[in-house]
Amino acid sequence: MKAVRIHQFGGPEVLTYEDISDPRPRKDQVLVQVKACSLNHLDVWVRKGLPGVKLPHILGSDIAGEIAEIGEYVTGFNVGQRVLGAPVHFCGHCLKCLAGLQNQCQEFTVLGNAVDGGNCELIAVPAANIIPIPDSLDFNQAASVPLVFVTAWHMLVGLAGVRPGQAVLVLGASSGVGIAAIQIAKLFHCRVITTAGDETKLEKAKALGADHGINHYKQKISDEVRKITNKAGVDIVVEHVGAATWDESVRSLKTAGTLVTCGATTGANVSIDLRHLFARQLRLLGSYMGTMGELHEVLGHVFAGRLKPVVDRTFPLSEIRAAHEYLEKSQMFGKVVVNP
């Protein structure tokens, strides 16, 4: 089959489109003909080099496609069925997995991180990862959902415990997590404030339901949040930008507010004034992916049309280098998808 592998860490030039042998599904696995694989910032981190990544390596977390072959022990699926893949790897038999907390499993990793991913024509995955998709979603849309929507759902619903009517600040409206978080917060009838670097992106965010937009290049985020919330601040901040916005995110919280973060795109080192942390009774939460239960829960809303994936642009898998360059320029609103 055709696949994109990296044989060394580095820039987009290390992405190599090449022929490798077809994977064989184990008896408990399903072989999927990949039709679409969406990119995430994780792809860039892994390409540049993360611990635990063995070379050569296949990137790509979010896949959608058709079932090509079904292992002997697997029931309930048909060859040719349209499916997406849960972008997670877990042992399935430890206490955490059995309790439904797969993202706390010691073996937990994201597809395409410490295990090979979906930048290829065929991938063998455990049956537990296979989820049928409705005809209303095309493959590019389906591949744009799992990682960012389960991440945003776990942050807002699983960890921050969002309640109807709260004020929520979502950083980075144009990112996959931002697009998912805006819609999930609106599903809970929240007042949503979001940020982006230009007016076009802010208009698109408002079309998704955001009530207020802040241009983070022209305006000071916490000042605008104070104005919008009549000095109160927000109940929840959805962070993933990191160093560039951290101080503003903390300042935007109301007393006893919750900041939940899942990323550090602009840098990982930030500081916190402990006097603010305790005196303002803030909650700072770290989030990583989500559970399989949460994935199924959020997919229910996507399949029903209440939450919508946003595809920005597609590239042939053979042009993966251009896709990475495009992703790193951050000009997109929504997901970048490659098609094998």
Stretch that binds Zn ion, among 87-95, 178-186, 239-247, 316-324 (CB under 5 A): 87-95
Report, in Å, the least distance between residue 104 CB and Zn ion. 8
Of the candidate residues 55, 91, 256, 268, the single one contacting Zn ion (CB under 5 A): 91
Residues 208 to 237: which contact Zn ion by CB under 5 A?
none
Q: Are strands 2-6 and 57-58 parallel, antiparallel or unpaired?
A: antiparallel
- In terms of CB distance, is 93 or 231 closer to Zn ion? 93
With a CB cutoff of 8 Å and minimum separation 6, the contacts of 172 are: 178, 194, 195, 196, 240, 241, 265
- In terms of CB distance, is 258 or 291 closer to Zn ion? 291
Q: Spell out, one character per residue from 94 to 113, where the chain touches Zn ion: x when CB under 5 A holds, - when not.
A: x--x-------x--------
Report, in Å, the least distance between residue 126 CB and Zn ion. 12
Q: Which residue is nearest to Zn ion (CB)?
A: 105
Sign of CA dihedral 118, 128, 146, 159: negative
Burial classification of residue 268, based on how many CB atoms lie within 10 Å of its CB (0-12 exposed, 13-18 middle, 19 or more buried): exposed
- In terms of CB distance, is 90 or 246 closer to Zn ion? 90
Give CA separation, 217 vs 258, 315, 327, in Å.
24, 30, 20
Give CA separation, 210 vs 49, 150, 172, 179, 213, in Å.
35, 19, 12, 10, 7
Give CA separation, 198 vs 41, 144, 173, 308, in Å.
20, 23, 10, 22
Report, in Å, the least distance between residue 107 CB and Zn ion. 6
Report, in Å, the least distance between residue 102 CB and Zn ion. 7
- In terms of CB distance, is 94 or 270 closer to Zn ion? 94
Report, in Å, the least distance between residue 94 CB and Zn ion. 3
Longest dimension (CA), the chain: 61
- In terms of CB distance, is 90 or 153 closer to Zn ion? 90
Residues 4 to 43: which contact Zn ion by CB under 5 A?
none
- In terms of CB distance, is 2 or 96 closer to Zn ion? 96
Closest C-alpha among 86, 131, 148, 113 to residue 336: 148
Stretch that binds Zn ion, among 49-57, 83-91, 179-187, 192-200 (CB under 5 A): 83-91
Contact footprint for Zn ion (CB under 5 A): 90-91, 94, 97, 105
